[in-house]
Structures are given as structure tokens and as C-alpha cells.
Amino acid sequence: MIKSLQLKGNRRSKYYWIALSLLSVSFYGEAQMALTIEKALEIAEVNSPNLRKSRMNLERYQENLFAQKASLKSKFSLDLNPVDYTKNRRFDNRLSQWYTNESFSTDGQLRVDQPILFSDGVISLINKFGWQDNKSTVDGDKNQNQAFNNNLYLQIAQPLFTYNKRKMELKEIEFEYENAEISHALERLNTEKQITNQFYSVYMDQNNLLISREELKNAQQSYDIIKNKVDADLAARDELFQAELNLSTARSTVENRQVGLESSKDQLKQSLGISLDEDIITFAEIHIEAVEVNMNKAIEHGLESRLELRQREIDRDLLGFAMVRTKALNEFKGDVALSFGLLGDNQNLGNIYDNPTQNPRVVISFSIPIFDWGEKKARIRAQRTAQKISELDYQEKKVDITLNIRQVCRNLENLYTQIKIADQNVKNAQLTYDLNLERYRNGDLTGMEISQFQTQLSNKKITYSQSQINYKIELLNLKILSLFDFEHGTPITPLKYTDTASNKKRTEEFKSFK
């Protein structure tokens, strides 16, 4: 448990803000995009390439789910055959003679198919209407028939003794869509972590550049002091050589850190999805408060809420679907087809049903496997092994979540201690440098010695800033790992449109397939 303490912000943070503003003007002389961490995250939410791809992937699965649900509604189709003309010479086996048949017809079929989700059957209403002119010539005798015909019937097709393919396909697509939702939510969390790390990397590089410029200023001041003394014959010329070396080193450090800053900016701009030609500057007022963290609560909430666990549950359910299909290989199954309707024909369209004919039809068929050389049993064993592997992955992920949260909680305690130590080190290094600078002015120190004190002060300032940033980033890691914001005492819901009850219902419905 971290004690509730607070590091009060001092005037140094204000000086940094002013110095950063001056840095942007003096270095560039042109407008820059000012970024805070909040603004950077807002830009990333819209422009980040990874988030955009994730959103498009989510939309793709959403459209697939919409299409699958639409396929369960009534389907209307119209087939037209405007012209069908044939003339053939044929042999009549019944009369043992040749005849010539010439036929011209036109017809169309209107069909309405309604899938039945709960039984995987299909009920269809079909109407086929046409007109034909049929001529036959047998031994010089000609016969001809011209008539309208209409066949209206209701048809039912129902599979037997097998799993519900249509219902399983719908559940699979629902699971895939949920998985895409989770992937998008995880990508948002990962983007937040990535942008935060890169933002503070740029911020640290800016601070380091400020510190190196301050070091350059001090080196220039030291050089001026020793040069005046050498010119007045109050100091040896080798001291001037050392001062020149210190000044050159300070300038080189400024240039190196400027290059590092530009590289960090480019990485941040790429992740934000903005133009690489856009110039940016980051602003952050780092105010650290020790956050009270309950490790057990963090672990419990993480195990209940982590989306990766739900993903593994989905994978486990999809493997269950695969097992159902595997068990259906070479299975005993049947089909029933029923149809009933009225068929009418007449030369006059209005009298087409004067003498209708009923046309019932019943078909029952079975598929009976006999021997498959052990194929089905081997595939079932392989699928069971895959399910065991999935279960092991699920349990191992729970252990990983627990270990990571425990490690982050321990790190937070240590990092807060490091912040307090680093703050005190900066104060001590500043006092030490100020005292020795006076000694240097009085000629009691060499240029190399004052350079060492300057380097020490710069390093302590960098360490202090980095320790603060490390603490904030580790707090973000804890929020992502546990999906609980301990700074504000609120749970995190990265998946805004996930209905937990609906997900549980899907899982329960899935069990009915087994």
C-alpha cells in the first residue's frame, strides 16, 4: 500500500513552461502545434493509423453480422426465361418410332424463401407461370398444343438428426463481431499507452535540451571568466584550453539532443497520424501525487474485467463449434422435403384453374455412414487436444495478469521513493554547483572540476524529470492492466457497447450445440 503523500509543485515547473515557449520561438521562429497529453490522445483517437484500421475492421465484422441477420429474413427472387425454343428429332421407345418435336415457351418463377432459425429448415412459396407452343410430327401427322400453365405450391425442407448449421453460423459471426469490438478496445488502450510513452519521450528530450542549453550557458560563462583572468595574467593558459574544451562539449551536447528531439517528434507524429512536416512542441505540468493502491483489489478487478480473458473465452467457444462440426463428420442424418400445390393449364388465361391438379410430394432420405477407417475419431481427439490447449492458455493468461499487476504495484512504491530522492538530489546538486561556481570565480577550482559539478547538476535534473514520468507511466500501466483508475477511484470501461449479460446469454446458447 502506498502512503498518501504529495509532492508539491515548485517554481521549476513554471520556469520549464516559460523556457519551452522561448525554446519554440528561438529555435524555429514559426508557429508550432502545441500539444498536451490530453490533446495528443484526442488527435490519436481520430487520426492514429492503428486505430483507424481497427475501426475499419470492426465495421467489417459489423456488416458481416448485419448481412447474416438479413439472410434470416424472407428472400424474394424472380427468375425469368423469356425465350426457350427447341427443335429435335427424337425416338419414342414406347411406340418404337421417330418423331419431330418443336417447342417454343416463355415462363417465369416467383419464389419466397423463409429460413427457420430454430430448426434450420426452409419454407418456400413458389409460383411458376408460363406459356408454351408445342408441335410434334409423327409419320406425317401433326399435333399441336398452345396453352398457359401455372404451378403454385408450398415447399418445406427440413434436415434431421444433425446440428443447426444456420444457428451456429449466426453465433459464430456474433462471437467474431464481439471479438472485433474487444480488439478495437484493446487497440485504444494500447494506443493510449504508446502515445503517452512517446509524448513524454518528446517532453523529456525537450527538457534535456533545455538543461543542455543551460549547461552551455554556464560553460560560456565559465569560459568568459577564465578568459578574462588569462588576459589579465591571473590564471594559467591551460585553464583557458580546458574551458574551451568544456564549451565545445556543451555545444556538441546541445546539437546531439536537438537531433534526438527531432527523431522523437517524428515518431510521435507518425503515431498521431499527422504530417511529418508539422512542427510540434509538448507541454506538460507534471504534478505527482502518491496514489493509494490496493493490490488485491487491482488483481480482482483485472481478472473480472480484462478483455483478453473474454477473447480467450470466445476462442474456447469457437473451438466448441469446431468440435460440433468434427463430430458431425460421417454422421447419420436425414432430410425431409414436403410440398403441396395446385397445377393448372388452359388455352385461355382466365380459365387456367378450371380443372386444377393437386401435386403433393413427400421425400424422406437418410445418409448412413458405414466405415471411415477411424477418421472421425482421430479428428475428434485432435480437436479435444486443441480445446485443452485453449484452456491452458486461458489459465496462463490469468496468471500473467496477476503477476503483471503485482509487479506494477511494487514498482509504484519504489518509483515514488525514487521521486523524493531525486528531488532532494537536485536541490543538493544546485547548492553544490552554486558554491563551487563562486570558488571557481575566485580561482580555487579548475575548469575541469567546475565542469564535473555542472554535469552532476544536469544529470540530477534529468533523473528527477524521468522519475516523475516513470511514475505516471506506471500508473497508466496499472490502469490498463487492472481496468481500474486508482487516481480517481473509478473502473475503466474501454468497451462501451459490450453488454455483459448479452455475452453470457450467447455463451449459454452456445452450450445447447454440445
Q: Tell me, what CATH number does 172's domain have?
A: 1.20.1600.10
Q: Is residue 265 part of a domain?
A: yes
CA 77 to CA 511: how far, in whole Å?
35
140 and 286 part of one domain:
no
Same domain, yes or no: 179 and 311: yes
> Do 196 and 142 reside in the same domain of the chain?
no
3-state secondary structure 206-265: HHHHHHHHHHHHHHHHHHHHHHHHHHCCCCCHHHHHHHHHHHHHHHHHHHHHHHHHHHHH
**What pairs with residue 105 in β-bridges?**
84, 132
Spatial contact of 473 and 415, defined as CB atoms under 8 Å apart? no
Closest alpha carbon to 448 in 269, 279, 241, 186:
241
| Domain region containing 173 | 11-65+168-319+379-511
Nine-digit cell at 278? 508539422
pLDDT of residue 156: 95
Any idea of the CA torsion for 302, 305, 308, 314, to the nearest 10 degrees? 140
Query: What separation in angstroms does the CA of 510 have from each of 153, 245, 382, 422, 507?
Result: 36, 75, 21, 56, 5
Task: Say if 304 falls within a structural domain.
Answer: yes
pLDDT of residue 90: 86
Own/partner contacts of 25-31, CB < 8 Å, gap of 24 or more, are 27/258, 28/279, 30/279, 31/279
| Predicted local distance difference test score (pLDDT) of residue 1 | 32
**Residue pair 386/319 in contact by the 8 Å Cβ criterion:** yes
Q: Does the predicted TM-score (pTM) go above 0.85?
A: no
Strand 33-35 and strand 280-282: the pairing is parallel
- Are residues 3 and 250 in contact, defined by beta-carbon separation less than 8 angstroms? no
| CB atoms inside a 10 Å sphere around CB 188 | 20
363 in the same domain as 284? no
**pLDDT under 50 in the chain at which residues?**
1-29, 497-502, 506, 509-514
Sequence-distant (≥ 6) Cβ neighbours of residue 382 within 8 angstroms = none
Q: Express each pLDDT in 297-352 by its tens digit.
A: 999 999 998 899 999 999 999 999 999 999 988 889 999 999 999 998 888 888 88
Residue 4 domain-assigned (yes or no): no
Rounded to 10 degrees, the C-alpha dihedral 188/194/197/198 comes to -120
Q: Give pairs for 267-272: CB < 8 Å, separation 24+.
A: 267/198, 267/201, 268/40, 268/195, 268/198, 268/199, 268/201, 268/202, 270/49, 271/44, 271/48, 271/50, 271/191, 271/194, 271/195, 271/198, 272/40, 272/43, 272/44, 272/47, 272/48, 272/195
Q: What is the dihedral of CA 478, 484, 490, 492, to 10 degrees?
A: 120
**Dihedral angle sign, alpha carbons of residues 113, 115, 120, 121:** negative
Straight-line distance from the first to the last Cα atom of the chain, in angstroms, rounded to the nearest whole number: 46
**471 and 432 in one domain?**
yes
pLDDT of residue 24: 46
Residue 280 and residue 196 share a domain: yes
Instruction: Report how far residue 249's alpha carbon sits from residue 215's, in angstroms, rounded to the nearest whole number.
Output: 10
Other C-beta atoms within 10 Å of 232: how many?
Answer: 8
Four-CA torsion 313, 314, 317, 322, nearest 10 degrees: -130
The sign of the dihedral angle between the CA atoms of 468, 470, 474, 476 is: positive
Q: Are 458 and 215 in contact (CB under 8 A)?
A: yes
Q: Is residue 441 included in any domain, yes or no? A: yes
Domain boundary among 344, 368, 392: 368
User: What type of residue is 504?
Assistant: K
Task: Clarify whether residues 278 and 412 are in a common domain.
Answer: yes
Residue with cell 528527477: 464
Examine the domain organization and report whether 276 and 399 are in the same domain. yes
Residue 386 lies in a domain: yes
Per-residue burial over 141-152, b if 16 or more Cβ lie within 10 Å, else e, is eeeeeebbbbbb
**Does one domain contain both 425 and 501?**
yes
The reply to whether 408 and 439 lie within a common domain is yes
Q: Residue 165: enclosing H or E segment and its boundaries?
A: helix 165-231
pLDDT at 30: 55
Same domain, 406 and 350: no
Whether 328 is in a domain gets the answer no
Q: Does 385 lie in the same domain as 245?
A: yes
Report the domain count for the chain: 2
Residue 16: predicted pLDDT = 46
β-strand pairing of 361-367 with 333-346: antiparallel
Match 497520424 to its residue by C-alpha cell: 273
Among 320, 291, 384, which Cα is nearest to 4's? 291
Closest to 311 in 3D by CA, of 495, 81, 95: 495
CB atoms within 10 A of CB 167: 18
For residue 311, give the DSSP letter: H
Helix (H) or strand (E) holding 84: strand 75-92
Residue 3: inside a domain? no
Residue 71: inside a domain: no
Q: What is the pLDDT of residue 75?
A: 94
Burial zone of 376 (CB within 10 Å; 0-12 exposed, 13-18 middle, 19+ buried): middle
With residue 465 as reference, give the H or E element that holds it.
Answer: helix 447-482
**Number of Cβ within a 10 Å radius of residue 399:** 9
Sequence-distant (6+) residues with CB within 8 A of 409 are 293, 295, 298, 478
